[in-house]
């Protein structure tokens, strides 16, 4: 009895009468096969190796993403999935690749520096060897003092968040108390609160100032820019330094750097000690194919009445470019691929069709999943439903690092809470216990939720995702714990199988109202 009570509390079960109305059929024999295959004959780390070390960085539109698209399509086909395709979702913009990147301080002494070009920035004109100028500006008026001082110089921008001594470990797991709070948390309101006006205004002012700074550097004839946002111990967070649009305005070559290196250069310059930098970047734009792509493949359904319905699972295949995108999000892709491999290896015969989707161009705004949903299900701007909308049973997503699954967000769909709670019970001994009615954002399940489809993101242990690897130069294969990815693969395979075998599709929330793009 105590064990059952613990499970009920940890899983966030609602009252007993609700549970009695939603008794789920659990195929214990198949769940045992899934666990055995996923824990004892796993291929998840092998898949992760190919996605990271072999395919390399997978920036939107890059050669690395194209390699990953081709490899995943071939691998999924080799495992026995059908209808594998690299499916265009629409127009994205220019691709971009790094062919060479080098930066070092050459005076007052020589020392190599840690950095990488910002995405979609141009090459330098060969090797540059230039003096530096530090630019600090809190307002547009502050820029006036730099006019006439930047020509043929390398600009050093100030560090927004200097590193501080850390007394907490980078990586952590959710505590039992944190999971219990998640399970007990109320669902978010159907209409989210309006964003804080003051914060929005400050953000817009910051963007406007950065635009003015970039225009000043160009007009004054600076040679290149070195910048740093945040990070410590040699870690730097990367981003794009220009637009991927075909008609993007020209910008200067720019490298994003480790804060410690940037701050040393700034201290020397502030002390009046001449600082010289040598750097060379060679980047390549791809303008021939401006389309974006998703990779899809299927395990066909076997039930005469239900095989036209679809259970989807997915993760985004693209990454940033300063590392190999291991936790963001080769981990999620490897787990989802492993989940369908497990189902094929165990001989599963799903009643509904199971479709895996590996999304492109997520990092620039969930483009792959949003346009897939628009092309197949509905446009949130009009909420005109396509025939496939009625056929989707569920979508499951994984994109919060490489930590093991601790549960799932119900995304405000309270009717699925008792269903998911029962589906999790066989995995309590593996640490997956929690269903929270809360919403979570920032991942591809939002594209489905936006048109009233049941889309869900799993709860994952945070590990060092937000402190060390997310969008940084440290996001490499070494950050992937094999046991966590094996556990996640087993849980995902089980959820997908249960959704494919269930008599009814998962409950849905009420359809949202149409939201034009300017409102969303």
Instruction: Give the residue with greater pLDDT, 92 vs 517.
Output: 92
Beta carbons within 10 angstroms of residue 470's beta carbon: 18
Average pLDDT over residues 313-328: 98
For 482-498, write each residue's pLDDT tens digit: 999 999 999 999 999 99
pLDDT value at 286 more than 60: yes
For 243-275, write each residue's pLDDT tens digit: 999 899 999 999 999 999 999 999 999 999 999
pLDDT at 360: 98
Nearest to 448 by CA among 494, 511, 501: 511
Share of the chain above pLDDT 70, in %: 94
pLDDT value at 211 more than 80: yes
Query: Angle 331-345/63-78 helices, nearest 10 degrees?
Result: 10
pLDDT at 197: 84
pLDDT tier at 192, thresholds 50, 70, 90: low
Mean pLDDT of the chain: 93
pLDDT at 10: 41
pLDDT value at 470 more than 90: yes
For 381-401, write each residue's pLDDT tens digit: 999 999 999 999 999 999 999
For 136-181, write each residue's pLDDT tens digit: 999 999 999 999 999 999 999 998 888 888 899 999 999 999 999 9
pLDDT value at 367 more than 60: yes
Q: Residue 191 has which token pair?
A: 């209409």
pLDDT value at 402 more than 70: yes
d(CA 256, CA 226): 6
pLDDT tier at 202, thresholds 50, 70, 90: confident
- DSSP state string for 402-434: SPPEEEEE-TT-GGGHHHHHHHHGGGGGGT--E
Residue 298 to residues 45, 50, 71, 340: CA-CA distances in angstroms? 22, 21, 16, 9
Half-sphere exposure of 219 (CA within 13 A, CB side): 11
d(CA 392, CA 372): 13
Query: Do the Cβ atoms of 37 and 346 come closer than 8 Å?
Result: yes
Strand pairing report for 128-135 and 392-397: unpaired
User: What structural domains does the chain harbor?
Assistant: 8-92+290-501 (3.40.630.10), 95-173+192-286 (3.50.30.30)
d(CA 9, CA 434): 9
pLDDT at 424: 98
pLDDT value at 52 more than 50: yes
- Enter the pTM of the model: 0.93
Share of the chain above pLDDT 90, in %: 86
pLDDT value at 193 more than 90: no
Strand order in the sheet with 310-316: 82-91, 291-299, 353-359, 310-316, 392-397, 455-460, 405-409, 434-436
pLDDT at 160: 80
Give, for 397, the enclosing helix (H) or strand (E).
Answer: strand 392-397
pLDDT value at 187 more than 90: no
For 5-35, write each residue's pLDDT tens digit: 333 434 444 333 344 456 899 999 999 999 9
Beta bridge partners of 90: 292
3-state secondary structure of 182: helix
For 99-140, write each residue's pLDDT tens digit: 999 999 999 999 999 999 999 999 999 999 999 999 999 999
Query: Do the Cβ atoms of 412 and 187 come closer than 8 Å?
Result: yes
Strands (E) in 54-209, as ranges, are 82-91, 95-107, 111-112, 115-117, 128-135, 154-157
The angle formed by the CA atoms of residues 446, 87 and 49, to the nearest 5 degrees, is 80
Q: Residue 290 has which token pair?
A: 């401006």
pLDDT tier at 186, thresholds 50, 70, 90: confident
3-state secondary structure of 454: coil
Instruction: Give the residue with greater pLDDT, 8 vs 234.
Output: 234
pLDDT value at 1 more than 60: no
Nearest to 341 by CA among 111, 85, 44, 99: 44
d(CA 339, CA 323): 25
3-state secondary structure of 316: strand
3-state secondary structure of 222: coil
pLDDT at 4: 38
If you search the block for the tokens 């691929």, which residue do you land on? 337
d(CA 452, CA 437): 16
Average pLDDT over residues 320-337: 98
Q: Based on the number of CB atoms within 10 Å of its own CB, is 464 exposed (0-12), middle (13-18) or buried (19 or more)?
A: buried
Q: Residue 397 has which token pair?
A: 């997503």
Beta carbons within 10 angstroms of residue 188's beta carbon: 15
pLDDT at 504: 96
Instruction: Determine the distance from the C-alpha atom of residue 387 to the mean position of all C-alpha atoms in its chain, rounded to a whole number.
Output: 29
d(CA 308, CA 327): 34
């Amino acid at each position: 009895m105590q064990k059952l009570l613990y499970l009920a509390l940890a899983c966030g079960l609602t009252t007993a009468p609700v549970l009695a109305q939603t008794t789920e059929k659990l195929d214990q024999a198949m769940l045992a096969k899934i666990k055995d295959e996923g824990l004892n004959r796993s291929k998840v780390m092998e898949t992760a190796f190919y996605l990271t070390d072999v395919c390399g960085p997978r920036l939107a539109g890059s050669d690395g993403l194209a390699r990953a698209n081709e490899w995943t399509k071939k691998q999924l086909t080799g495992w026995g999935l059908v209808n594998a395709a690299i499916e265009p979702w629409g127009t994205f913009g220019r691709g971009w690749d790094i062919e060479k990147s080098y930066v070092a301080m050459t005076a007052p002494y020589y020392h190599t520096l840690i950095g990488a070009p910002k995405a979609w920035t141009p090459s330098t004109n060969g090797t540059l060897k230039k003096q530096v100028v530090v630019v600090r500006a809190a307002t547009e008026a502050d820029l006036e003092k730099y006019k006439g001082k930047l020509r043929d110089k390398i600009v050093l921008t100030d560090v927004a968040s200097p590193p501080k001594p850390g007394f907490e470990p980078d990586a952590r797991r959710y505590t039992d108390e944190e999971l219990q709070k998640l399970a007990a948390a109320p669902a978010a309101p159907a209409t989210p609160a309006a964003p804080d006006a003051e914060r929005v205004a400050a953000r817009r002012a910051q963007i406007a100032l950065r635009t003015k700074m970039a225009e000043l550097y160009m007009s004054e004839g600076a040679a290149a820019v070195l910048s740093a946002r945040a990070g410590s111990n040699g870690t730097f967070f990367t981003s794009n330094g220009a637009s991927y649009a075909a008609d993007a305005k020209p910008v200067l070559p720019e490298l994003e750097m480790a804060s410690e290196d940037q701050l040393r250069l700034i201290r020397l310059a502030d002390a009046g000690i001449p600082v010289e930098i040598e750097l060379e970047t060679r980047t390549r734009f791809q303008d021939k194919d401006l389309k974006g792509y998703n990779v899809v493949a299927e395990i066909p359904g076997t039930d005469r009445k239900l095989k036209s319905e679809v259970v989807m699972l997915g993760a985004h295949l693209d990454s940033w470019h300063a590392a190999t995108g291991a936790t963001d999000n080769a981990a999620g892709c490897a787990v989802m691929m492993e989940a369908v491999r497990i189902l094929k290896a165990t001989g599963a015969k799903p009643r509904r069709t199971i479709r895996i989707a590996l999304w492109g161009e997520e990092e620039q705004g969930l483009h792959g999943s949003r346009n897939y949903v628009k092309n197949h299900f509905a446009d949130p701007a009009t909420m005109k439903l396509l025939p496939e909308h009625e056929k989707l049973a569920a979508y499951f997503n994984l994109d919060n690092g490489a930590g093991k699954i601790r549960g799932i967000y119900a995304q405000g769909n309270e009717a699925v809470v008792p269903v998911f709670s029962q589906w999790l019970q066989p995995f309590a001994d593996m640490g997956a216990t929690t269903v929270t009615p809360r919403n979570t954002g920032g991942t591809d399940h939002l594209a489905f939720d936006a048109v009233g489809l049941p889309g869900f993101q799993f709860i994952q242990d945070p590990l060092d995702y937000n402190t060390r690897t997310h969008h940084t130069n440290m996001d490499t294969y070494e950050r992937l714990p094999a046991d966590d990815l094996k556990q996640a693969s087993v849980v995902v395979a089980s959820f997908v199988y249960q959704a494919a075998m269930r008599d009814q599709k998962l409950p849905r929330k009420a359809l949202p109202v149409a939201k034009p793009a300017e409102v969303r």
